[in-house]
Amino acid sequence: MSTIAAFYGGKSILITGATGFMGKVLMEKLFRTSPNLKVIYILVRPKADQTPQQRVFQILNSKLFEKVKEVCPDVHEKIRAISADLNQSDFAISKEDTQELLSCTNIVFHCAATVRFDDHLRHAVQLNVAATQQLLLMASQMPKLEAFIHISTAYSNCNLKHIDEVIYPCPVEPKKIIDSMEWLDDAVIDEIAPKLIGDWPNAYTFTKALGEMVVQQESRNLNIAIIRPSIVGATWQEPFPGWVDNLNGPNGIIIATGKGLLRALRATPKDVLDVVPVDIVVNLTLAVGWYMAVRRPTSMLIYHCTSGNLNPCNWGKMGPQVLATVKKFPFEKAFRRPNADFTTNTITTLYWNTVSHRAPAIIYDFCLWLTGRKPRMTKLMNRLIRSLSLVEYFIKQTWEWSTYNTEMLMSELSPEDRRVRTALT
């Protein structure tokens, strides 16, 4: 048995963001490879008129968890859904649940965040900064806590070209931002947000950077690590290839390509696109939890989960691969035959957006209208073009991330664990 999997046996684990893309894969891997863990606490908010228990039931009965049922039949008894809302200052957790979390938790994985690029700064600060501060305060009151693992993003310092595994100071003190969000109204925040965000591209990456500073400032005597994944895509191997449950990052673009919606994307074929499969991120996350708890490094460590300098993939390779795949495995109800190409400047991007995206959508909607059906394609195409404009910043440039700590950690793994977890190289 893997040393890391054995480590999580008997452990009480708290995961925030467990209902999210990464959180689900993390939870699945823990139950499948460490079925003798004691309990996984997950903070779940009610959503789309489902109670937390109903949401958990739906997740445990999804395809992702099929293998878990075989190796961990009592998974329903080992998961504790705690009703919580990280938008509330006290997370709206009951006193009894808080007491249980504080007294029992051995490992914390903090995945929860708002990952929208167009989120209001107040909401992004609340979730990505203030909630992290609040969770660290809770963690400092956990006598059995062995490690606190914070999931950030490799783009938290995307205003730099070369990024090391260190915390970079932000131009604004996180506590001042949190305090000001409590009394400024939305109109004032909208006015000052561009100045506060500065040379970050959006509130998401800016507040993830602030969140890292809060982790550093509020670490107290906690045993903490930060993991910075780059662009996280579908599963590579575990529990099965190709699992994804949202349109974020590369997923929306690949699906839009497969549906024949996307015909032109601004990117330079030689540029490296740093994408990592979500199961690789989860493998590193579990390895970091084990390493921090067992080896107890003297200081907080940052781990980059990036592929660019270990196993680079450029657009010129990724694009044709995606096209070949969506042609080999065609999507149902595609709008058009998949066919896409890169544009390399603003003029050609504008031209192809008009000719290949907007115009066909308008014609299609006109036909829908003529035949008494509700036009919908123009709205969807505008949404896609807006999504592309928001991710363009991350597509049209490249970064260099050092991976010393991640490679050091890989060298500390047993041969069994290294076989399972090393796929970045």
Ligand X SMILES: NC(=O)C1=CN([C@@H]2O[C@H](COP(=O)(O)OP(=O)(O)OC[C@H]3O[C@@H](n4cnc5c(N)ncnc54)[C@H](OP(=O)(O)O)[C@@H]3O)[C@@H](O)[C@H]2O)C=CC1
Q: Which stretch, 42-50, 284-292, 383-391, 393-401, contacts ligand X (CB under 6 A)?
A: 42-50
Report if residue 45 touches ligand X, rule: CB under 6 A: yes
15: partner contacted, choices ligand X, ligand PKZ, none (Cβ within 5-8 A by kind): none
Tell me which residue has tokens 């039931």: 57
Report if residue 135 touches ligand X, rule: CB under 6 A: no
3-state secondary structure 89-108: CCCCCCHHHHHHHHHHCCEE
Q: How far is the CB of 107 from ligand PKZ (least distance, A)?
A: 23
Q: Which of residues 102-121 bind ligand PKZ (CB under 6 A)?
A: 115-118
Radius of gyration over every alpha carbon of the chain, rounded to an integer in angstroms: 22
Nearer to ligand X, 202 or 349 (CB): 202
Report if residue 246 touches ligand X, rule: CB under 6 A: yes
Identify the CA nearest to 147 among candidates 361, 323, 295. Answer: 295
Q: Indicate the DSSP class of residue 63.
A: G
Identify the CA nearest to 392 among candidates 244, 273, 234. Answer: 273
Identify the CA nearest to 29 among candidates 385, 388, 286. Answer: 286
203-217 and 186-197 are packed helices; what angle lies between their axes, rounded to 10 degrees? 80
Tell me which residue has tokens 């839009």: 256
Q: Which of residues 298-317 bind ligand PKZ (CB under 6 A)?
A: none
d(CA 14, CA 27): 10
Binding pattern to ligand PKZ, positions 160-189, x when CB under 6 A?
A: ------------------------------
68: partner contacted, choices ligand PKZ, ligand X, none (Cβ within 5-8 A by kind): none
Q: How many residues bind ligand PKZ (CB under 6 A)?
A: 28
Binding pattern to ligand X, positions 265-304, x when CB under 6 A?
A: ----------------------------------------
How far is CA 57 from each of CA 31, 156, 289, 351, rounded to the nearest angstrom? 15, 34, 26, 48
Report if residue 163 touches ligand X, rule: CB under 6 A: no
Question: Which residue of 59, 75, 107, 127 would you call a contact of ligand X, by CB under 6 A?
Answer: 127
Report if residue 247 touches ligand PKZ, rule: CB under 6 A: yes
d(CA 250, CA 246): 10
Report if residue 22 touches ligand X, rule: CB under 6 A: yes
384: partner contacted, choices ligand X, ligand PKZ, none (Cβ within 5-8 A by kind): ligand PKZ
H helix or E strand, kind and range, residue 232 = strand 231-233
Q: Which stretch, 39-47, 138-146, 307-315, 331-339, contacts ligand X (CB under 6 A)?
A: 39-47
Report if residue 181 touches ligand X, rule: CB under 6 A: no
Identify the CA nearest to 281 among candidates 9, 68, 23. Answer: 23
Q: Which residues contact 338 (CB under 8 A, 6 or more apart)?
A: 257, 258, 259, 260, 323, 326, 327, 330, 331
How many Cα neighbours within 13 Å face the side chain of 326? Answer: 25
Q: How far is the CB of 400 from ligand PKZ (least distance, A)?
A: 16
Report if residue 252 touches ligand X, rule: CB under 6 A: no
Nearer to ligand PKZ, 35 or 258 (CB): 258
State whether residue 308 is helix, strand or coil: coil
d(CA 319, CA 342): 9
Angle among Cα 262, 265, 266 to the nearest 5 degrees reads: 165
- Residues in the site for ligand X, rule: CB under 6 A? 17, 19-23, 43, 45, 47, 84-87, 111-115, 127, 151, 153, 208, 229, 231-232, 246, 248-249
- Residues in the site for ligand PKZ, rule: CB under 6 A? 115-118, 153, 155, 231, 247-250, 252-254, 256-257, 273, 318-319, 322, 383-384, 386-387, 390-391, 394-395
